[in-house]
Amino acid sequence: MTDAAIVWFRNDLRLRDNITLTEAIRKSDRIYPVYCFDPRHFAETELELPKTGSYRAQFLLESLQDLRNSLQEIGSDLIIRQGVPESVIPQLAQEIGASKVFASKEVAAEELLAEKEVESRLSPSGIELELIWQSTLLHVDDIPWPINNVPDIFSQFRREAEKITQVKDTVLPPQALNSIDPITPNSIPTLEQLGLSYVEMDKRAVLPFQGGETAGLARLNRYFWENDCLKDYKETRNGMLGADYSSKFSAWLANGSLSPRTIYEEVKHYEQERVKNKSTYWMVFELLWRDYFRFIAKKYGNRIFQFGGIQDKSPNLRDDIALFHKWKNGETGVPFIDANMREINATGFMSNRGRQNVASFLVKDLKVNWTWGASFFESMLIDYDVCSNWCNWNYMAGVGNDPRENRYFNIMSQAQRYDGQGAYVRYWIPELSDVPGKKIHYPTEIPQPELADMGVRLGEDYPEPLVAFSKWLY
């Protein structure tokens, strides 16, 4: 039994089903919960964007306040520190006389480097770092392959994983923790102290997205039980307007305010109490996709961030900053693309259907460097998850796990299929609603002469919105 231990919270900002916290309590007399604000997570990228933008940062601050409230209710608190964890964690361990540090195991390059550096600086003092895997539905030790042999095609992974693997039960939240006095917990920083500005979320957002375990569990209850949406999930999941076309759990999963096993157990409960159908299966199916990308990220390491992707290809893409800015600002003149890009800029969120289309458009139509799109999503998305984001962009750029060569999203047919009446486009491009008696017309594809000239067209000053969009009206 360890006398004192630090629990270094990372992307596991919850008490319920937190195995790292549970293990620390089991093995230690005194627990010191800590969260470290790493300044590198808020630095500016090569695209002059903050690595963590205001929407995601605000959601993080709310999640940490909720975690602090929950810890205070059981007699503890959340110690807040700012600085690189490889300096902060060892220094704090010395200060409190901790003999062990517990933390959740991550898989991406920056997180792995931080783990390695923390461990190397703890070791000379005889302090152990215990890393615990808890980020996936299926435990990494339970899948039927060593990591290096995880299939490169999802369908093969899913079939075998579903056949062999059992999901472990969740663990209950602690009822009490020893006080952390006399350590000064410190205040949670403001956005301004992190070098960011507050951006008010647009009232048209699909959800108000409140961070924290309390809000995450409330969303789970509302979507499954109050609104009874799970039974229709498979049929509605490709929607684009409204709160309940999809679960929106991804934001709380991303920083660990909800665990995938908590969602899984609720699905099983729903199947017993309400109905078991294709939609309840599909919710678990999506959790498996999330697992899969995490295992692929672990398998391929830094290659998920590289231009050639996990296939080490040489895609025919260019570093065209003018085209990239037109894309990211929702100024391409293609309404279905621009509406989605305006949504993410105004709210920090975009539907899965929208993400696939704007990614395909950037890569396949504009032929712009896919890593720029991935970096933009990293900055903007409330629900940014390093593995899901970068592996999905690998997939869309044709350098990842897609078994189909040269997958292309026909933007016009997608728009017709998922927004045939133009409701979504009009919602985010209200200029189009100001034209009485006109409907939105989607041709079967973007006219090729326009596409060939798009680089020149979009490099010019963007015209008045109504001029840019007028050719889509009839």
Question: For every one of its 474 residues, what pLDDT tens digit does the chain have, with 9 covering 90 and above?
Answer: 679 999 999 999 999 999 999 999 999 999 999 999 999 999 999 999 999 999 999 999 999 999 999 999 999 999 999 999 999 999 999 999 999 999 999 999 999 999 999 999 999 999 999 999 999 999 999 999 999 999 999 999 999 998 887 899 999 999 999 777 778 999 999 999 999 999 999 999 999 999 999 999 999 999 999 999 999 999 999 999 999 999 999 999 999 999 999 999 999 999 999 999 999 999 999 999 999 999 999 999 999 999 999 999 999 999 999 999 999 999 988 899 999 999 999 999 999 999 999 999 999 999 999 999 999 999 999 999 999 999 999 999 999 987 777 778 888 889 989 998 889 999 999 887 766 666 666 666 655 444 444 443 443 444 444 445 555 554
- CA 338: distance to chain centroid? 21
DSSP designation for 451: H
C-alpha dist (Å) from residue 416 to 142, 411, 419, 422, 448: 43, 9, 5, 8, 18
C-alpha angle with apex 21: 18 to 25, nearest 5 degrees?
Answer: 135
DSSP designation for 309: T
Smallest Cα–Cα separation from 131: which of 111, 105, 154?
Answer: 105
Dihedral angle sign, alpha carbons of residues 51, 56, 61, 63: negative
Characterize 199-210 residue by residue with b for buried, 16 or more Cβ atoms within 10 angstroms of its Cβ, and e for exposed. Answer: bebeeebbbebb
What pLDDT score was predicted for residue 430?
87
271 CB burial (10 A radius; 0-12, 13-18, 19+): middle
Side-by-side strand order, sheet with 2-9? 79-82, 28-37, 2-9, 100-104, 128-132
C-alpha dist (Å) from residue 295 to 41, 374, 387, 388: 23, 19, 9, 10
| Radius of gyration of the CA atoms of the chain, in A | 23
From CA 447, how far away is CA 391, in angstroms rounded?
Answer: 31
- DSSP string of 397-439, one letter each residue: HTSSS-SSTT----HHHHHHHHSTT-HHHHHH-GGGGGSTT--
From CA 410, how far away is CA 335, in angstroms rounded?
Answer: 14
Is the domain spanning 321-472 CATH 3.20.20.10? The answer is no
Note whether 30 and 179 are within 8 A (CB): no
What pLDDT score was predicted for residue 8?
98
From CA 218, how far away is CA 211, in angstroms rounded?
Answer: 11
Calculate the CA dihedral of residues 88, 89, 91, 94 and round it to 10 degrees. Answer: 160
Q: Which two tokens stand for residue 421?
A: 């009446």
Smallest Cα–Cα separation from 99: which of 74, 126, 137?
Answer: 126
Architecture (CATH level 2) of domain 1-134: 3-Layer(aba) Sandwich (3.40)
What pLDDT score was predicted for residue 469?
55
Is the domain spanning 136-169+211-301 CATH 3.40.50.720? The answer is no
From CA 281, how far away is CA 54, in angstroms rounded?
Answer: 35
Calculate the CA dihedral of residues 16, 57, 191, 221 and round it to 10 degrees. Answer: -50
227 CB burial (10 A radius; 0-12, 13-18, 19+): exposed
C-alpha angle with apex 70: 54 to 270, nearest 5 degrees?
Answer: 90
For residue 415, give the amino acid letter. A
Tally of CA atoms within 13 A in the half-sphere of 209 that contains its CB? 30
Calculate the CA dihedral of residues 117, 123, 124, 126 and round it to 10 degrees. Answer: 150
Q: Where in the chain are the domains?
A: 1-134, 136-169+211-301, 321-472
Note whether 30 and 20 are within 8 A (CB): no
Smallest Cα–Cα separation from 300: which of 151, 103, 454, 126?
Answer: 151
Calculate the CA dihedral of residues 104, 110, 116, 122 and round it to 10 degrees. Answer: -70
For residue 213, give the amino acid letter. E
Cβ contacts of 160 within 8 Å, gap of 6 or more: 144, 145, 151
